[in-house]
Structure 1
Amino acid sequence: MAFRLTLIRHGVAEGANEAIFGQSNPPLSSLGREQLDLRWAALSAQPIDAIASSTLARCADFALDAAMSLGLAVHLERGFNEMNFGSIDGKAKSEWGLAEHTAWDLWQQDPAQHTLPDGESWAAFSNRIHTALNAWFASGEAEHRVLIAHQGTIKAILLAALGLPATRHNQFWLAPAGCVTLWWDEHWPPMLLDISNTLPDTP
């Protein structure tokens, strides 16, 4: 069955200016919640019949409320969690050493070839995301699926869908509460319909 798949990045998390969060687990800031409220107000004006989310608080807390507002169950899945960034995960950037800065720069250039210290490899990260995605798709039919997740998770889905290497990951930068929509058909390659980094106006 063909369907629309909308991927939403979570809003700004508490402490996001000071650190990079992978599987460390801060909640949304008040601004982050406002950002997602604006995105959801516009998106939910269209029919939605399946919602999934990372289990991390900056995604799951909002996803649970969004699903409840539509009378839907939410599919919470650890497989959609952000990459484990190892020694820098949640660590204040002001405390990074030279080796950590160098490792981050190399990872940005090619995450498939440069795993962060004590971090998750790109291959393992991408594999768990697509295992989770396929399991969600197989769990029941839906015409419009919404996944609330992380920038890295969404990038991995888009790169695989479009047949691009990990070196192109920065091509798909998403703002907080940014949104991507794909047309997904099991018989054809996914089609990119829209990328929006601009939040809707306040209703």
Structure 2
Amino acid sequence: MRLTLIRHGEAEGASEAIFGQSNPQLSALGRAQMQARWQMLSAQQVDALASSTLARCADFALDCAQQLQVPLHLDHAFQEIHLGCIDGKAKSEWSDEDHTHWDAWQANPRQSPLPNGEGWDEFQQRVLKALDAWIAQGEVEHRVLIAHQGTIKAILLAAFNLPPERHQQFWLTTAGSVTLWWDQHYPPMLLELSNTLAAD
């Protein structure tokens, strides 16, 4: 089985705030980024498509499902981690304490959960449970999930048995993608990680 994970494109207001479960739509640039990514992917057959239910993922995923004429599996459990008090809060309004919490979370999200935010283990478990349930729906060769930076990192860290403090090594830009290959006799293999889009 191949699994391609695509991070959503730029969201409206992304330069002013960090979004977890806040729900902005894609900006015009974000939609163009996703169209470029999808065009690069469309040369490959896509057999199953899933998405987070947040608008910056789901809106474009719905368009892709209609284009492919395949069902779209929408699941709340693929949503980004909840970032607590800074979720969607304008960076210009962050306190010194907010910056300290964010820096500590970036260094180790398990050991330094954000105030009022979702714990890393709880987050990763819900993502992996949703992924297992989707895969169990039937055997197909190529699955595509449109989701979030954190959601994708949670899957990759689990696939390679890495602790959460290693999450930075799987950074994806907006509309970036990563593809894994599973074989029943071998561990998961990283086929591709792409942070570049085709030139116009």
Structure 2-normalised TM-score?
A: 0.98
1:167 Cα deviation after fit = 0.5
Aligned pair count reads: 200
Amino acid in the other structure paired with 2:187: P
Instruction: State the match for 1:50 in structure 2.
Output: 48
Tell me which residue corresponds to 1:200: 198
Among 25, 37, 52, the alignment partner of 1:27 is 25
Aligned residue for 1:174? Answer: 172
Gap runs ≥5 in structure 2: none
Paired with 1:195 and 1:144, the residues of 2 have a C-alpha distance of 16
- Structure 1 alignment gaps of length 5 or more: none
- 1:191 maps to what in 2? 189
CA distance in 1, matches of 2:183, 2:54: 29
Identity %: 66
Q: What is the alpha-carbon distance in structure 2 between the residues aligned to residue 22 and residue 105 of structure 1?
A: 16
SS of residue in 1 equivalent to 2:153 = helix
**Deviation sequence 1:28-81 (CA, Å, 0-9, x none):** 000000000001011011111100000000000000000110101100001110
Partner of 1:77: 75
Question: Could you tell me how far 1:162 is from its partner in structure 2?
Answer: 0.7
What does residue 151 of structure 1 align with? 149
SS of aligned partner of 1:180: strand
Q: Distance in 2 between matches of 1:10 and 1:185?
A: 27
The partner residue of 2:86 within 67, 85, 88 is 88
Q: Look up the SS of the partner of 1:118 in the other structure.
A: coil
Q: Which amino acid aligns with 2:18?
A: I
The 4+ residue runs of structure 1 with deviation greater than 2 A are 185-188
The residue number in structure 1 matching 2:10 is 12
Report the CA distance between 1:141 and its aligned residue: 1.5
Cα deviation per residue 1:94-128 (whole Å; 9 max; x = unaligned)? Answer: 10111111100100000010100100000000000
Q: Does the residue aligned with 2:192 lie in a helix, a strand or coil?
A: strand
- 1:164 aligned residue: 162
Shift of 1:186: 4.0
What value does the CA root-mean-square deviation take over the aligned residues?
0.8
1:119 equivalent to 2:114? Answer: no
